[in-house]
Structure 1
Amino acid sequence: MNRIILGALLFWTTTLWAESPLSSKMETYLVAEKNGQEVVTVTDEASPGDVVEYRLIYTNNAEQPLSGLEITGPIPANTAYLKDSASTDVSTEFTVSIDDGSSFEAEPVTRTITGPDGQTQNVIVPPSDYTQLRWVPENGIQPGQVLEYRYRVKVQ
């Protein structure tokens, strides 16, 4: 059975030094169904077909609000973002990337393609083609506040 070690993704996670005004961590959870109920458990590996939930957690350790935050979550290779699974409890501008973070845009992401007959049409890029997600909190993060951003991917 092929398993993906999720711990390797934690290189992306940044936990800043002790005096830093902002700290962050990334947690990974396996999402399964048991007796008709969704069960979410901490994990560090997954197999093809598994659904993994990422939680990006940011804490303001400063005595003043922090602004200008951009929270970016990766969509790892061999996984596909699950449509509408991104969530947070704060007002944000949510955008996605289909080019490994070179650019971000609001959903739905569309592209113009030219068919074999020379006709052009707009098509919606499927969420499974996303490579990164980004949230920009509208009000920054207040002293002592903890913000959590979640999203799910399916291991391919």
Structure 2
Amino acid sequence: MKYKSLFLFVLFLGLSVNANAQNDELSSVLKAFKITLGADGNEVATEVTEIKPGDIIEYRLTYQNETDGSLTQITPVLPIPLEMFYLDNSASP
């Protein structure tokens, strides 16, 4: 059920982000990555479509301006699924 929830969340979020842009001026792509430690101790991000309890997931939301001009007052919103927890101070631009 949690795997289905992740898929539906990603699908819903992708649709909701586009719904906030006027006239398809702004497109977006949301991807989920599982974070693990490599043999060298550095973080490794692997794109995933299924997760398990205890996995650390990083969402990457990429926007693209589809116009020839500038867009202003863009406010990206990335809600956290109810069954997940946000790690304090883990967000970065």
Distance in 2 separating the partners of 1:9 and 1:73:
11
Percent of aligned positions that are identical: 33
Residue 109 of structure 1: aligned partner:
none
- Give the gaps of 5 or more residues in structure 2: none
Are residue 63 (structure 1) and residue 68 (structure 2) matched? yes
Residue 20 of structure 1: aligned partner:
24
Are residue 32 (structure 1) and residue 31 (structure 2) matched? no
| Displacement over 6 Å in runs of 4+ | none
Distance in 1 separating the partners of 2:2 and 2:73:
37
Give per-residue Cα distances to partners, 1:90-126, cap 9 Å, x unaligned.
xxxxxxxxxxxxxxxxxxxxxxxxxxxxxxxxxxxxx
Please give the root-mean-square deviation of Cα atoms over the aligned residues, in Å: 1.9
Distance in 2 separating the partners of 1:71 and 1:55:
12
Residue 47 of structure 1: aligned partner:
52
Q: Give TM-score, length-normalised by structure 2.
A: 0.80
- Give the gaps of 5 or more residues in structure 1: 89-156
Amino acid paired to 1:65: S
Distance in 2 separating the partners of 1:53 and 1:68:
25
Instruction: Specify which structure has the higher proportion of helix.
Output: 2
Distance in 1 separating the partners of 2:53 and 2:64:
32
Instruction: Specify which structure has the higher proportion of strand.
Output: 1
Structure 1 pair 3/34, CA: closer, same or farther in 2 (3 Å)?
Answer: farther
Q: Compute the displacement of 1:31 (Å).
A: 0.4
Distance in 2 separating the partners of 1:62 and 1:51:
35
Equivalent residues, number: 85
Residue 85 of structure 1: aligned partner:
90
Q: Counterpart of 2:29 in 1: which secondary structure?
A: strand
